[in-house]
Structure 1
Amino acid sequence: MQHIADETPTRDEKLIVLFEDFLGARAIRKPSAHTLAAYRRDLTAIARLLTDGDLAPDGATPLPLATLPISAVTTRRLRYAFGHFAAPRAAASVYRAWSTWNSFFAFLVADGRVPGNPMSAVDKPKVLAPAPKPLRGEETPERLLEAVAEGNDGRQRHPWPERDLVVLALALCAGLRLAELLDLRVGSVVGRPGERRVEVIGKGGRPRSVPIEPELDALVERYLESRRRRFGLRTVGRESALLVDRFSAPMRRGGLQYLVESCYRRAGIVDRVPAGAQLHALRHTFATRLAEDGASASEIMRLLGHATLTTSQNYIDVTAGQQRAAIKANRTNRALAKLAANDGD
């Protein structure tokens, strides 16, 4: 049966229309709102440079972005646009924009909208894997957890130590990213007592299941009970956001970042947080402590949701029991045991 396309491909399709088609297709993968916004910024930033008169074909009048056709996006113009884009930016930002445009053209080729992907002829920077940025100081994670659990900072207008402690613990003892925390539902914590785990959708839509110890499970339940008291039983359904603000609305990116920063201030450890890390410093602390306490590279990869190991020969498939043993060996869980034993009275 012959396939009939919804639209006849044309090299004169408007670039901004194709952007929307691409972003709509990407949305099916359920990326975070932050990720979609980053795609849009990278596409638009380069496209605006393509409207620069210096990049227009010889003798041609530059077109405004709203009317720029895909046929105007030549390899030569892309090279110049990326050259101008790269000048004031870090290599990681340039690489991310290159990857976005490469994915965009791969989508257009697969959809029959353009005959080929020109990005292979556009240089991209080499980006080294960033060095881990854990919290500095051997006992800093324990100091942070204990300070937040006490909840006696008079500067807080609306204290909620049960929630704040769960945020920190999920990052320190399960290695969750900021976007992963925001995407959690109440029903994301599953399993029988003693075999509990948190189910996460990570980068690239890759699912993973991270074992959690009874101490962290108890803190989650204590938080949910405090939430029921504040907002009522109906606000804690399985599909409800796990983390909410003081109005019972799902937490947003800025709110969660501010919460973590305020926890650092309350614990007096701001000087021990690597620059630019913030919540990611907790995830890096989780990973480095696993490594120090004997977890293998494969276990760490699986628990943190990384796509690959540095070299494929280091890959070792591990069982769920081995992953749980690695989690149990995490020293931060031992600090949670003491906090979980405290009933808050």
Structure 2
Amino acid sequence: MPRILDAIDSFFTARAPRKDSPHTTAAYRRDLLAVTTLLAGLSQSDPEALPCSALTLSALRRAFAGFAAGRAKSSIARCWSTWNTFCGFLVSEGLLEGNPMAGVARPQPPIRQPKPLRGEDAPDDLLIALVQRARKARDPWPERDLAVVATLLLTGVRSAELLALTVGDVAGPAGERRLLVRGGKGDADRTVPVEPALERLLEGYLGSRARRFVAERRPLPVGAVLFVDGRGSRLTRNQLQYLVRQCYRHSGVADRVERGALVHALRHTFATRLGQAGASAMEIMELLGHRSLAASQGYLKTTARELRDAARSNPSYRVLERLADS
């Protein structure tokens, strides 16, 4: 019977054509090795020598009980999914008669609610403040700040997607530009329309960049990074988070950001506003780069104003109003 560690290597070889991201591969490997170590400890064996025959239902239940101690539900659910996929592979290879993970308990996945900026005027207040005055900074760059925030708010790109954008990713003829978003979740590429207002902001930013970095090659090559810091280097994730946080404070909307959202709040605001404007779940899914329709349907919930209008339509209110006037 092959060793579990050998089977893990074969598992990743079989998955190679899927082109999983390095992050996904590393997470899979961590989960597989963590539970393998626990299995070895339960049987007082060497993880290097543990055979696939050790993957019994009772052993996996005990190993997952140990894995769950002190870990969040999301981590346990991810590990369960990894092992379910791995054991399914072992079944297909004839190394297991059946998948024992069906009998291993897993936590219910939490219902993730969108976290847009609170308040219907918050996105507008943010943009207006950035247009009207530069935020306080050691080396202010209002055109860059506005272009970054507006791109996040008007295209719904993720942080990593924004940081990976190049000058050539703003493509198409004037007035019909689109943003080529590469390497989203699952390495799926997509395009997002860029309306003329955002196009002008991006052009204004690039003009300010030319003035700021006179020695920079002109015109910029299509492969040049789109958004840079004050030294002309690619923005980092930490710099982007700091920039957005300071823009929230500058515009007076910092208290309207859900805890833990920060940059992602702009993506959620983009999607929520689309839903309020009548976009379908399918359209939102395409623009956000979601892989399932269910992930996009949460943005179609009614707004507080719509709920109030619906409640106001109750005929009993009209009865009360007539009684009050009599």
Q: Give the conservation status (yes or no) of the 8 Å contact 2:135–2:247.
A: no
Letter in 2 for 1:85: F
For structure 2, the residue ranges without an aligned partner over 5 or more in a row are 298-326
Which digits, 9 at most, give the CA deviation of each residue in 1:63-108, with x for residues without a partner? 36xx364635554333323223334333333222223334445566
Q: Give the conservation status (yes or no) of the 8 Å contact 2:181–2:191.
A: yes
Separation of aligned partners in 2, 1:163 and 1:68: 56
The alpha carbon displacement at 1:254 in A equals 2.7
Q: 1:262 to 1:49 in 2, by over 3 A?
A: farther
Q: 1:94 to 1:255 in 2, by over 3 A?
A: farther
Residue 127 of structure 1 corresponds to: 109
Q: Please, what is the CA RMSD of the aligned residues?
A: 3.3
TM-score between the two structures when normalised by the length of structure 1: 0.71
The alpha carbon displacement at 1:173 in A equals 0.9
Q: Aligned ranges for residues 89-168 of structure 1 at < 5 Å?
A: 89-105=71-87, 112=93, 114-115=95-96, 118-150=100-132, 152-154=134-136, 156-168=137-149
Q: Give the conservation status (yes or no) of the 8 Å contact 2:165–2:225.
A: yes
What is the identity percentage for the equivalent residue pairs of Structure 1 and Structure 2? 48
**Structure 1 residue corresponding to 2:281, chosen from 277, 297, 315:** 297
Q: Give the conservation status (yes or no) of the 8 Å contact 1:199–1:210.
A: yes
Q: Give the conservation status (yes or no) of the 8 Å contact 1:19–1:43.
A: no
The alpha carbon displacement at 1:281 in A equals 1.0
Residue 284 of structure 1 corresponds to: 268
**Structure 1 residue corresponding to 2:224, chosen from 240, 246, 266:** 240
Letter in 2 for 1:289: R
Separation of aligned partners in 2, 1:19 and 1:253: 34
TM-score between the two structures when normalised by the length of structure 2: 0.75
For structure 1, the residue ranges without an aligned partner over 5 or more in a row are 1-9, 315-345
**Matched residues, number:** 291
Separation of aligned partners in 1, 2:89 and 2:211: 49
Separation of aligned partners in 2, 1:17 and 1:259: 42
Which digits, 9 at most, give the CA deviation of each residue in 1:279-336, with x for residues without a partner? 111111111111111112221122112222239xx9xxxxxxxxxxxxxxxxxxxxxx
Residue 322 of structure 1 corresponds to: none
Q: 1:17 to 1:309 in 2, by over 3 A?
A: closer
The alpha carbon displacement at 1:234 in A equals 5.8
Letter in 2 for 1:267: S
Separation of aligned partners in 2, 1:279 and 1:26: 33
Residue 170 of structure 1 corresponds to: 151
Name the larger-Rg structure: 2
**Structure 1 residue corresponding to 2:167, chosen from 183, 186, 192:** 186
Q: Give the conservation status (yes or no) of the 8 Å contact 2:149–2:244.
A: yes
Residue 18 of structure 1 corresponds to: 9
Separation of aligned partners in 1, 2:63 and 2:219: 49
Q: 1:13 to 1:248 in 2, by over 3 A?
A: farther
Separation of aligned partners in 1, 2:51 and 2:139: 52
Residue 63 in structure 1 maps to residue 46 in structure 2: yes
Residue 263 in structure 1 maps to residue 247 in structure 2: yes
